[in-house]
Structure 1
Amino acid sequence: MSGPVSGRVILLNKPFGVLSQFTDKGTSGSARATLSQFVDVPGVYPAGRLDRDSEGLLVLTDDGRLQAQIADPKFKKPKTYLVQVERIPDDAALSVLRTGVDLKDGKARPAKVRRIEAPSLWERDPPVRFRKSVPDCWLELTITEGRNRQVRRMTAAIGHPTLRLVRWSVGEWSLDGIESGTWRDA
């Protein structure tokens, strides 16, 4: 990021099932959880998005320039995810992610990826489905773009669908010490 941050920056640990917006403009008829249930700070907006079925770090700011720098792929701000996937990907599958996996909207930039031990995270509500016959594995995956559902599409493309997706960090900001559903100033 170039230059000092001139506005307020809030780091929210967005829970599963919450929309990355302050109002629900959906047509489903039933109200869905939004950021307004977790952050009561006027004038801040999400810098980028996190899908409703994903959890973790959402950066909010009142600085429009910073918002654009976080969200725009041209700035290549690294975003690190903890990803639980079906089965255990072999080195060849991880290599595809490291060199850039082909997606329907073009080749993804190379990612940094490694298998990790299951992280110590909060319980998810609802819990991830568990199947005795299908093992799972956790990956730490860092990308520098932010296409729609990109991480999920990347793991699916190598044959390992995502079960749980937690964004752990964006640039220099991380979830360290932020419980699910809570926030702090950066």
Structure 2
Amino acid sequence: MADIILFNKPFEVLSQFTDERTQNPRSTLAEWIKMPGYYPAGRLDYDSEGLLLLTNHGPLQHRIASPRNKMPKTYWVQVEGDISGVAIDNLSRGVNLKDGPTRPAKVRRMTPPKLWQRTPPVRHRETVPTSWIELTISEGRNRQVRRMTAAVGYPTLRLVRYQIGDWTLDKLQPGEFRMEQVHLPDAPASPSKQGRRPGPRSTKARRPNRRSASK
């Protein structure tokens, strides 16, 4: 068995425990996760929100984070503009980026999800509509989702990662986490019903007074 933390990373928090900046340091996981020995299995951009997995088990960390395993990741994406069916089809087939074409993705238009209020909120323009899509990819290039939506003409305004493999945010609010146990070594990297521990606990991470953060 291996322990894993499912953490809802807030907006403008680094997915690491330290910041290389000495002036105006940014918020890090150290303000939220007070359990030594756990490290992120993959990353989530500073300006993105949602599911981040951490574990104290090295092989499991590698299996989750390694691009070779092609673990699917699902994002809820708010884009600028009323996204067209053509754009969704293009995203589904894969788009050409500067570092090469992306793999085909699963994409669907979705109604605006019921999410927490982001601080600061997404910019609002009366004359420009927005729309939401659910996008599932199996690769992890730098800022890939944002680059994909921009490539089809719809810049990303808000990006929330909802799912990695079989793990989901469920009802976690920003700054909250829950722990689960994963059966190893024969189980796949994502948990099965047999590999999950019944009744996972949710924890509200307490944080100290944060200093002003800047990008």
**What range is the shorter-chain TM-score in?**
over 0.9
Three-state SS of the structure 2 residue aligned to 1:65 is: helix
Structure 1 distance, partners of 2:21, 2:58, is 25
1:20 corresponds in structure 2 to: 15
Amino acid at match of 2:55: T
2:26 corresponds in structure 1 to: 32
What stretches of structure 1 move > 4 A for 4+ residues in a row? Answer: none
Shift of 1:121: 0.3
Structure 2 distance, partners of 1:107, 1:74, is 17
Bigger CA radius of gyration: 2
Question: Is structure 2 residue 82 aligned with structure 1 residue 105?
Answer: no
Counterparts of residues 13-162 of structure 1 (less than 5 Å): 13-26=8-21, 29-162=23-156
Structure 1 distance, partners of 2:96, 2:143, is 14
Q: Residue by residue, what CA displacement relative to the aligned partner does 1:113-160 show, whole Å, maximum 9, x if unpaired?
A: 001000000000000000011100000000001111000000000000
Among candidates 170, 179, 183, match of residue 176 of structure 1: 170
Structure 1 distance, partners of 2:96, 2:58, is 32
Shift of 1:74: 1.3
Structure 2 distance, partners of 1:22, 1:138, is 31
Shift of 1:65: 1.4
Shift of 1:26: 2.5
Structure 2 distance, partners of 1:109, 1:71, is 17
1:7 corresponds in structure 2 to: 2
Three-state SS of the structure 2 residue aligned to 1:119 is: coil
TM (norm. structure 2) is: 0.82
Amino acid at match of 1:109: R
Structure 2 distance, partners of 1:121, 1:156, is 23
Question: How many residues are treated as equivalent by the alignment?
Answer: 180
Quote the RMSD (CA, aligned, Å): 0.9
Structure 2 distance, partners of 1:67, 1:114, is 30
TM (norm. structure 1) is: 0.94
Amino acid at match of 1:49: R
Shift of 1:91: 1.1
Q: Residue by residue, what CA displacement relative to the aligned partner does 1:38-60 show, whole Å, maximum 9, x if unpaired?
A: 11011010011100000000000
Three-state SS of the structure 1 residue aligned to 2:161 is: strand
Structure 1 distance, partners of 2:21, 2:101, is 31
Q: Residue by residue, what CA displacement relative to the aligned partner does 1:15-40 show, whole Å, maximum 9, x if unpaired?
A: 0000000011125x112100011110
Structure 1 distance, partners of 2:130, 2:91, is 18
